Amino acid sequence: MSEEKKKCPFCKGEIPAEATQCVHCKRELPSTVPPPKKKASRFSTIGSNLGAIGILGLMIGGFFSIPMIVFLLTGMTGGIFGVLSFRKMTPEEKQIPFWKDGTKSRTYAALFLGGWALILTILVFCGVEL
């Protein structure tokens, strides 16, 4: 009965495949199990979708008879969901680059789009014609 072997990443000595510590250098071996892939949070997904709908609605809303305020409120609601998602993140999650984490990128998208919707809402209420 032959036992499966692997190499120690530190001293390159052969060790049993299921070993957690090297028998040669006595160092603790790193876990080979990758961390589970995290799904994007609901707040970030809803927020980015609402923000996108709000901003896209503002761009094409002139072609339809839908009041602009509907899209502005939709976009701002997306921003609120982005804030909620950002507040739920742990400090460790906030350190991960946003292009490596779906939740963080969607959260930033929701915050960005919600911010634009807020700016456009202020401009509309100040009488600026879009």
Neighbours of 47 (CB within 10 A): 29
Domain boundaries, the chain: 1-33, 42-125
Let me know if 5 is exposed, middle or buried by CB neighbors in 10 A (0-12, 13-18, 19+): exposed
Report pLDDT for 117: 80
Confidence of residue 99 (pLDDT cuts 50, 70, 90): low
Global pTM value: 0.57
Extended strands (E) in 57-112: none
The string of pLDDT tens digits covering residues 1-31 is: 467 898 888 898 999 988 889 999 999 888 7
CA 69 to chain centre: 28
